[in-house]
Each structure stands twice: as structure tokens, then as C-alpha cells.
């Protein structure tokens, strides 16, 4: 029995989990270029009200959400990652996400919590795992008026 195959799969799983974490952090830091680095060029993204290429989605974020002062800090956490390999360089990935967004709709700020799943396809390109498609499934959400509007606004 050789350990090469199981070790390679463990390494690939770790790299895919790191990819998902980097992608969430890129969104949290509102860094469009960092988001693009985690995707195969031309990959598809179905993200709530948005459905198109990752380049179009990033441009939308760059010119709308990330420029609009009403959109405050955001945090995305990823858990329960399931990875099914289709080949050594392609995988289907399902993970849970819990997202937090601060949104100001004058005169009230809201904390918005969203729970759902990412249905991702990943592929290894040039030795690096990237997202080749992402579909976001929203399972639940909750919005509450902010009791202390200064909390987190400077983050």
C-alpha cells in the first residue's frame, strides 16, 4: 500500500479549505483584486441578486457596495466543508457560511446575519486551487436594528 494518494488528497483538501478562507477574508476586507485571485478567470458566480462572471461581480462590488458608505463591515465564516473529488484537479465543495453585514438605511443601522451554503466547483490551475464556479444558497437571515451604532463602524 502506498501513502502517496491519501497524502495528496489530504494536502488538496487542506489547500481547498485555505482557498475558501482566503475568499471570505478577501470579501471581508473589501478587496476586489484579492477576490479575483481566488477564482479561475471567467468563472461563474450566482450570488443572491447577482448571476454572472466573477469579473462582472467584482466590478459590481467595486463600483457599488464597496464605494457606498451605507455598507459597513462584514465578516464571513466558513464551516462544515465537504469535498468530493472528481479528479486529481477538480472537486465539488459544499460548505456552510455565516455572514455578518452592517448596513445603514438612514437613519437606522442594521446588523444583518445570513446563514447558508456555498456550492463551489474548484479546480487546480498551475498548481493552485481556485474557484471555477460558486452558487450561494441562502437558508436563513435575520436583521436587527443596531443598539450601539458606533460599534464596528471603524473596522
**C-alpha to C-alpha distance for 65 and 103, rounded to whole angstroms:** 10
Per-residue pLDDT tens for 95-135?
999 999 999 988 899 999 999 999 999 999 999 999 999 99
User: What cell does 21 get?
Assistant: 478562507
**Model pTM above 0.75:** yes
Regarding beta strands 50-53 and 39-47, do their DSSP bridges make them parallel or antiparallel, or are they unpaired? Answer: antiparallel
152, pLDDT greater than 70:
no
Is the CATH number 3.10.450.50 carried by domain 4-145?
A: yes
Reduced 3-state DSSP string for 44-72: EEEECCEEEEHHHHHHHHHHCHHHCCCEE
Amino acid at each position: 500500500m502506498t501513502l502517496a494518494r491519501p497524502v495528496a488528497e489530504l494536502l488538496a483538501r487542506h489547500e481547498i479549505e485555505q482557498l475558501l478562507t482566503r475568499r471570505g477574508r478577501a470579501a471581508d476586507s473589501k478587496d476586489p483584486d484579492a477576490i479575483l485571485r481566488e477564482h479561475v478567470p471567467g468563472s461563474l458566480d450566482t450570488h443572491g441578486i447577482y448571476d454572472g462572471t466573477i469579473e462582472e461581480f467584482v466590478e459590481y462590488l467595486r463600483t457599488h457596495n464597496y464605494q457606498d458608505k451605507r455598507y459597513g463591515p462584514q465578516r464571513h465564516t466558513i464551516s462544515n466543508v465537504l469535498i468530493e473529488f472528481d479528479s486529481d484537479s477538480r472537486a465539488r465543495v459544499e460548505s456552510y457560511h455565516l455572514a455578518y453585514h452592517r448596513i445603514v438605511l438612514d437613519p437606522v443601522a442594521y446588523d444583518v446575519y445570513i446563514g447558508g451554503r456555498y456550492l463551489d466547483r474548484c479546480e487546480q490551475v498551475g498548481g493552485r486551487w481556485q474557484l471555477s464556479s460558486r452558487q450561494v444558497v441562502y437558508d436563513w437571515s435575520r436583521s436587527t436594528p443596531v443598539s450601539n451604532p458606533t460599534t464596528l463602524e471603524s473596522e
